[in-house]
C-alpha cells in the first residue's frame, strides 16, 4: 500500500486485541479492506468521499478500531450511522477500552466519547470538547443548521480542530414530503404555541409567523386554483415568492422570517417531531426546490378524507453535510447507486476488494407480486396459492432456519407467509439494510420489488438529470401538455424520459437486492457454502425486440453478478397464478365444491388422450347443464380455446365431434 496515513504498529495492536477478544481471524481480503478504509480516512483529504467497500468487509470492526485509534492519537471524529444499536456496538469492546485507558491514563471511553442520540438537543452544544461524537442519521438530519455546523468542530481549552466525519452505511440523500392543508394548519398552530412559550422573542417570532401565514394562505390559494385545471392534475410548481409578501423575494420581511425561523429552530423542533420535516419541506418550496402539485380528483372519497390535493417536495440531505471538511461515507452498494454519480461526491473503489461469488445462484420466477396485488385483502387466495407453490417447489429442499424471506411490510401478508411457509424469519422492505439477523441463512426468497410511486421516481430522476426539470418548468409546453404528460408518467404510460426514470428505478432496485443478498451468510468473506436466491417478480430475460423496466432489472442483475461468477437462472413463467386461482376457486353455493370454471378446466386437463366426446356429453360428465357449459365457453376464452382446439371436423349424429389430443 506504500506509506500509510496511520500508525501501522498501533493499528495492528488494536486489531490483535479485537481478534483475541472475539476469537476470530480476518481473511487477507478483509484486512486489505479495513486497512484501505483506515488509510483513506486518515488522509484528512477535504471533500465528500464515498468508499464503495463491499458489505461484510468489516466496516463495524474498523470503526471500533478508529474510535480507539482517534482517542489515543487525539483526532476528533463525528461518527454517524443509521441504527441506534450500531452506535452502542462501536464502543462495546471492553478490551479496547482497557487498552485505551492504559495508553491515555484515564477512562477515555467515558470522558472522550458522547452519544448524542441519547442526549437532548440542548446538551449537544455542551459536548463539543468530546473527542468522539456518535449519533444516528435520523438525529443528524433533524438538527437545526447552527447545531449541525457546530458538531463539525472540536473545541477545547487547548485547541480547535475540524472533525473527520464518518457516515456508516448508505446516505439518505433526500426525502419526499407531502404538504397539504392539514400540514399547513398544524405548522401554523405549532408556531403560535412556540410564541406563547418564548416570551423573550415574542415580537420577533410573531412577525415571522405573520409572514408564514401569508405564505400558507398563498399555498392554499394556489392549491384551489391549480385544482380547477383538471379533475386529476399533476403539475410542476415553482413558488412565486412575490405573491405572499408583495415585496419580492429579497424583502426585509422574508429575510426576517427565514432568519428568525433558523435561530429558533432548535426550540421549535423540540415541540413536535413531525414539524421539523414538514417545515423543512416548506422552506424548500420557498427556495424553489423541485416541487409538484398533485390532485387526485374531487370525487375520490378516500382522497377527500386524507386531503386530495397537496404539494410533493424534497428535503435534500446532501446539503447538510459540511463544506470544506473531510467527510467519508462507507457504503457497500455505492458502486451501483446512482445517487453518488454526481460532482458532489468523490467516489472511490478498489478492484482488489471485489469478491468471487461463484458459490451463489440467482433464479428469476416470473409472476405478478406487486404490492397493490398482495396487499389487497380480496386477493388472499392468490397470496396463499403463491406461498403454497413456493413451499412445495422451493422451501421443501431447505430447513426452516436456513431461509430468509423478504416481502412487503403488511401484517396480513406477513401472517400468511409465516402460516403457510412455516418460516418465522420474515424480513420486510425498509427494515433490512444494515441488519445481521439473517447472517446464518443460505437461501433468500424475495417476493416482489418495492417500487416508489412514479411521480416520486420522476423526482429522483430530476435530481440526476436536471434538464428534465428545466423542460418541465419552461414555456416550451403548455399547461395542458404538462398535465397530460405528467399524468401519463404517473401511470407508466409515457415514453418521454423513460430511460432516465428507468435508470433511476433500476439503480434503486439493485441497491435493495444487493443489500438483501448480503444479509445472508455470504456476507462472510470466508463463506464457501452454496447460497441460493429466488426472486419472484415480473423481472425476466428479454425476448427479441422486448424491453421494459423488468427486463432492464434482469439485465442489471446479470451484468453485476455474472462477472463475479454467480449463476443466473431464468425460470420464466412456470405457472399462471391467476389461472390457478380461478381453477381452485370454490363455488358461491358454499358447498365446498370448485366453481364451474375450475370444474370444466380440471376435467379437460385430466381427460385421457384420445377421448372422443360431444359438448352434451362433456356437460353431463362435468356435472353441469349444457346451457351452463355454453355460457362458460362464451365467457372464458381459456375454456373456448381448449375445447375448440379439440374439434375433429367430424360429427357424431347431429353433434360436432371433439377429441382430446
Beta-bridge partners for 50? 329, 347
Does the pLDDT value for residue 303 go beyond 60? no
Terminal C-alpha separation, the chain: 71
pLDDT value at residue 350: 72
Structure confidence by residue, pLDDT tens digits, 155-212: 887 888 999 999 987 777 778 888 988 888 887 877 777 667 665 555 666 777 777 7
Residue 251 pLDDT grade (very low, low, confident, very high; cuts 50, 70, 90): low
Does the pLDDT value for residue 266 go beyond 60? no
Structure confidence by residue, pLDDT tens digits, 501-515: 999 999 999 999 999
Cα torsion 146, 152, 157, 159: sign: negative
Beta-bridge partners for 133? 78, 114
**The sheet that has 77-81: what strands, in order across it?**
113-115, 132-136, 77-81, 164-168, 326-330, 47-51, 346-348
Residue 306 pLDDT grade (very low, low, confident, very high; cuts 50, 70, 90): very low
Residue 158's Cβ-count burial label (10 Å; 0-12, 13-18, 19+) is: exposed
Grid coordinates of 261: 425561523
pLDDT value at residue 305: 45
The alpha carbons of the chain give a radius of gyration, in whole angstroms, of 30
Cα–Cα distances in Å, from 33 out to 54, 250, 280, 543? 9, 50, 38, 40
- The span from the CA of 113 to the CA of 127, in Å, is 9
Grid coordinates of 462: 430530476
Least reliable range by pLDDT among 172-176, 232-236, 241-245, 528-532: 241-245
Tell me the residue length of the chain.
661
- The span from the CA of 44 to the CA of 41, in Å, is 6
Phi, psi at residue 649, to the nearest 5°? 85, 0
Evaluate whether 415 touches 408 at the Cβ level (below 8 Å). Answer: no
pLDDT value at residue 378: 74
Which helix (H) or strand (E) segment holds residue 476: the answer is none
Angle at 459 between CA 457 and CA 463, to 5 degrees: 115
- The span from the CA of 48 to the CA of 347, in Å, is 9
Better-predicted residue by pLDDT, 244 or 660: 660
pLDDT value at residue 543: 84
Say which residue the cell 424520459 belongs to. 497
Which residues, at least 6 apart from 469, have a Cβ–Cβ distance to it below 8 Å? 236, 290, 462
Mean pLDDT confidence for 385-393: 87
Does the pLDDT value for residue 577 go beyond 50? yes
Say which residue the cell 347431429 belongs to. 654
Does the pLDDT value for residue 244 go beyond 70? no
Better-predicted residue by pLDDT, 427 or 139: 427
- The span from the CA of 217 to the CA of 184, in Å, is 9
Does the pLDDT value for residue 497 go beyond 60? yes
- The span from the CA of 393 to the CA of 303, in Å, is 41
Structure confidence by residue, pLDDT tens digits, 107-153: 999 999 998 876 555 455 567 788 999 988 878 877 767 778 888 88
Amino acid at each position: 500500500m506504500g506509506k500509510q496515513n496511520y500508525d501501522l504498529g498501533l493499528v495492528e495492536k488494536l486489531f490483535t486485541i479485537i481478534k483475541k477478544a472475539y476469537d476470530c481471524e480476518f481473511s487477507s481480503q478483509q484486512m486489505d479492506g479495513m486497512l484501505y478504509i483506515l488509510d483513506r480516512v486518515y488522509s484528512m483529504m477535504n471533500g465528500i468521499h464515498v468508499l464503495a467497500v463491499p458489505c461484510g468487509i468489516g466496516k463495524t470492526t474498523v470503526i471500533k478500531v478508529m474510535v480507539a485509534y482517534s482517542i489515543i492519537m487525539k483526532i476528533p471524529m463525528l461518527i454517524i450511522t443509521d441504527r441506534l444499536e450500531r452506535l452502542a456496538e462501536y464502543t462495546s469492546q471492553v478490551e479496547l477500552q482497557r487498552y485505551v485507558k492504559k495508553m491515555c491514563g484515564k477512562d477515555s471511553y467515558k470522558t472522550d466519547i458522547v452519544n448524542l442520540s441519547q442526549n437532548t438537543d440542548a446538551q449537544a452544544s455542551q459536548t463539543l470538547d468530546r473527542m468522539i461524537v456518535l449519533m444516528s442519521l435520523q438525529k443528524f438530519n433533524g438538527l437545526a443548521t447552527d447545531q449541525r455546523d457546530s458538531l463539525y468542530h472540536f473545541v477545547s481549552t487547548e485547541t480547535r480542530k475540524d472533525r473527520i466525519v464518518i457516515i456508516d452505511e448508505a446516505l439518505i440523500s433526500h426525502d419526499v414530503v407531502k404538504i397539504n392543508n392539514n400540514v399547513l394548519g398544524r405548522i401554523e398552530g405549532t408556531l403560535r404555541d412556540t410564541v406563547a412559550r418564548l416570551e423573550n422573542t415574542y415580537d420577533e417570532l410573531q412577525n415571522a409567523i405573520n409572514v408564514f401565514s401569508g405564505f400558507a394562505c398563498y399555498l392554499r390559494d394556489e392549491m384551489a386554483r391549480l385544482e380547477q385545471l383538471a379533475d386529476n392534475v399533476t403539475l410542476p410548481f415553482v413558488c412565486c415568492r412575490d405573491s405572499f409578501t408583495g415585496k419580492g423575494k429579497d424583502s426585509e420581511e422574508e429575510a426576517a422570517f427565514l432568519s428568525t425561523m433558523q435561530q429558533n429552530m432548535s426550540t421549535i423542533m423540540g415541540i413536535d417531531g413531525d414539524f421539523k420535516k414538514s417545515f423543512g419541506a416548506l422552506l424548500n418550496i420557498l427556495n424553489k426546490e423541485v416541487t409538484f402539485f398533485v390532485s387526485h380528483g374531487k370525487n375520490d372519497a378516500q382522497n377527500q378524507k386524507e386531503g386530495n390535493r397537496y404539494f410533493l417536495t424534497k428535503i435534500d440531505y446532501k446539503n447538510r453535510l459540511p463544506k470544506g471538511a473531510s467527510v467519508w461515507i462507507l457504503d457497500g452498494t455505492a458502486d451501483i447507486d446512482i445517487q453518488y454519480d454526481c460532482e458532489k461526491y468523490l467516489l472511490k473503489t478498489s478492484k482488489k476488494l471485489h469478491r468471487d461469488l461463484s458459490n451463489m445462484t440467482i433464479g428469476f420466477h416470473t409472476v405478478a407480486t406487486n404490492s397493490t396485488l398482495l396487499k389487497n385483502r380480496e386477493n388472499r387466495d392468490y397470496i396463499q396459492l403463491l406461498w403454497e407453490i413456493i413451499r412445495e417447489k422451493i422451501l421443501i429442499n431447505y430447513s426452516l432456519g436456513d431461509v430468509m424471506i423478504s416481502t412487503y411490510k403488511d401484517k396480513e401478508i406477513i401472517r400468511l407467509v409465516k402460516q403457510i411457509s412455516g418460516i418465522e424469519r420474515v424480513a420486510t422492505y425498509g427494515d433490512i439494510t444494515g441488519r445481521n439477523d439473517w447472517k446464518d441463512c443460505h437461501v433468500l426468497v424475495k417476493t416482489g420489488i418495492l417500487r416508489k410511486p412514479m411521480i416520486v421516481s420522476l423526482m429522483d430522476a430530476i435530481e440526476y438529470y436536471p434538464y428534465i426539470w428545466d423542460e418541465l418548468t419552461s414555456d416550451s409546453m403548455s399547461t395542458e401538455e404538462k398535465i397530460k404528460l405528467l399524468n401519463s408518467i404517473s401511470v407508466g404510460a409515457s415514453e418521454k424520459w423513460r430511460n432516465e426514470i428507468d435508470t433511476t428505478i433500476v439503480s434503486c432496485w439493485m441497491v435493495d437486492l444487493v443489500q438483501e443478498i448480503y444479509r445472508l451468510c455470504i456476507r462472510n468473506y470466508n463463506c464457501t457454502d452454496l447460497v441460493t436466491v429466488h426472486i419472484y417478480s415480473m423481472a425476466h430475460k428479454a425476448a427479441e425486440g422486448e424491453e421494459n423496466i423488468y427486463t432492464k432489472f434482469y439485465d442489471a442483475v446479470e451484468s453485476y453478478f455474472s462477472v463475479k461468477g454467480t449463476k443466473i437462472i431464468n425460470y420464466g413463467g412456470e405457472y399462471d397464478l391467476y389461472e390457478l386461482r380461478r381453477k381452485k376457486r370454490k363455488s358461491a353455493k358454499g358447498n365446498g365444491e370448485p366453481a364451474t370454471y375450475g370444474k370444466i378446466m380440471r376435467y379437460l386437463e385430466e381427460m385421457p388422450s384420445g377421448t372422443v366426446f360431444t359438448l352434451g356429453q362433456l356437460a353431463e360428465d362435468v356435472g353441469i347443464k349444457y346451457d351452463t357449459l355454453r355460457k362458460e365457453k362464451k365467457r372464458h376464452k381459456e375454456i373456448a380455446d381448449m375445447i375448440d382446439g379439440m374439434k375433429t371436423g367430424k360429427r357424431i349424429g347431429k353433434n360436432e365431434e371433439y377429441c382430446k389430443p
